[in-house]
Amino acid sequence: MGPTEHQQMATVLQSIAEHDLDHEILDADAMAKRFPQYRLEDGDAAVLDRRAGFIRPELTVQTAARRAEQLGARIHRYTPVREITPVGNGVEIRTDDDAERFDAVVVTVGPWVNDLLPDLPWEVDIRRLISAWYVPTTDAWFGEERPAFIRTSPTHCYGLPSPDGVSVKLGLSRALHRPAGDPNELDRTVQPGELDIFTELLRRHLPELHPDPTRLSVYMEGYTESSRPLVGPLPGADNVVLLAGFSGHGFKLSPAFGDVAADLALDGTSSQPVDFVSTVGRTAA
Ligand SMILES: Cc1cc2nc3c(=O)[nH]c(=O)nc-3n(C[C@H](O)[C@H](O)[C@H](O)COP(=O)(O)OP(=O)(O)OC[C@H]3O[C@@H](n4cnc5c(N)ncnc54)[C@H](O)[C@@H]3O)c2cc1C
């Protein structure tokens, strides 16, 4: 949802046309009838992606880990890697208890990337994200159709009705997140002033929610300047494959990037078209 002239809306409309995606375009009247929980402003439109869905991240991670073990993976739970050192034709991984050598490694430590690899030649900016949950004042939020949503402007935000049918989750976009600082010392306390922007969003665009949140959580994410992730070998160490800086969009892409990571670690190359995110020849952005 958002102004039709907004660049992100233009991109959405262009992609729909190019790829013939199953969608509907709804104006303010249509939205008021079908999704009365959202307020559109003059000049706004909404695009409904009929094939969109949502992912349960905790279940996804645990299912993937279990499947990996079934296929022969060894998982060292609660075991931080302290150092990664290329040695000869291999790579040494050091933990508090042990050091082990492997032919190749894939590093996917999310917001801890600068911690584990302090000499990285690219910037990954670690930001602190707040998610807030609000209870609806009407049944509209939990009707038969419950799409996740993005509003592009004036405040870029996203959210979705929780699958448990209790509340609506709301999050903000990159420009509104403050730097996280040391990822091991993340400030998980949300100050009342940090809610102002959420409260204004509710007032203007989501008035069918109680303005006092029932749950707040603080997270971290790593952003690159271009928002393109870093995928590929570290300079001078072809057998250390890095995947980092997913800039708020890594989860939905993880099965595809998992395949790419395995290709790069085993063969040094991937048949997927990933040059646009490659670390090879990449400048700071
Ligand atoms: C609030 C929020 C909302 C988001 N919403 C979306 C969304 O709607 N869609 C989407 O696609 N993406 C979304 N993302 C982004 C997505 O979650 C990330 O891009 C993605 O999880 C990155 O995957 P990753 O495997 O690189 O890192 P992570 O998922 O962060 O995983 C890194 C793992 O490495 C572990 N680790 C760290 N250091 C070490 C170490 N030294 N040794 C061993 N293990 C270590 C950590 O404990 C963690 O388990 C969201 C992120 C946040 C925070």
Do you find a cis peptide bond into 154, omega within 30 degrees of 0? yes
Q: Are 168 and 248 in contact (CB under 8 A)?
A: no
The rounded Å distance from CA 203 to ligand 1 centre is 31
CATH topology of domain 57-124+227-277: FAD/NAD(P)-binding domain (3.50.50)
The predicted structure's pLDDT at residue 283: 82
Indicate whether residue 109 lines ligand 1 (CB < 6 A). Answer: yes
The rounded Å distance from CA 7 to ligand 1 centre is 27
Residue linked to tokens 């249509």: 30
What sign does the CA torsion over 143, 147, 152, 157 have?
Answer: positive
Closest Cα to atom 18, ligand 1: which residue? 250
The count of C-alpha atoms lying within 13 angstroms of the C-alpha of 123, restricted to the half-sphere facing its C-beta, is 8
Q: What is the pLDDT of residues 90-143, one digit of tens each?
A: 999 999 999 999 999 999 999 999 999 999 999 999 999 999 999 999 999 999
Assessment of whether the complete model's pTM goes beyond 0.75: yes
CATH topology of domain 2-52+125-223: D-Amino Acid Oxidase; Chain A, domain 2 (3.30.9)
Instruction: List the helix and strand counts (H, then E) for the chain.
Output: 6, 15
The predicted structure's pLDDT at residue 284: 67
The rounded Å distance from CA 121 to ligand 1 centre is 21
Indicate whether residue 45 lines ligand 1 (CB < 6 A). Answer: no
Q: Are 214 and 263 in contact (CB under 8 A)?
A: no
Closest Cα to atom 20, ligand 1: which residue? 250
Indicate whether residue 250 lines ligand 1 (CB < 6 A). Answer: yes
Indicate whether residue 252 lines ligand 1 (CB < 6 A). Answer: yes
The whole-angstrom distance between residue 40's C-alpha and the CA centroid of its chain comes to 26
Candidate of 127, 246, 252 to mutate for ligand 1, largest count of ligand atoms within 8 Å of Cβ: 246
57-124+227-277 has the same fold as 2-52+125-223: no
Q: How far is CA 90 from CA 84, 108, 184, in A?
A: 11, 18, 29
* Encoded tokens for 276: 């646009």
DSSP summary character for residue 111: G
Of the candidates 19, 230, 254, which has an alpha carbon nearest to the alpha carbon of residue 125? 230
Atom of ligand 1 nearest to the CA of 244: 26
**Which contacts (CB < 8 Å, 24+ apart) does range 196-199 have?**
197/155, 197/172, 198/130, 198/132, 198/170, 198/172
Atom of ligand 1 nearest to the CA of 95: 42
Indicate whether residue 80 lines ligand 1 (CB < 6 A). Answer: yes
Residues of the chain predicted below pLDDT 70:
284-285
Q: Are 250 and 124 in contact (CB under 8 A)?
A: no
Atom of ligand 1 nearest to the CA of 131: 1
* Encoded tokens for 117: 């690899």
Task: For the chain, give every domain's residue range.
Answer: 2-52+125-223, 57-124+227-277
What sign does the CA torsion over 40, 46, 51, 52 have?
Answer: negative
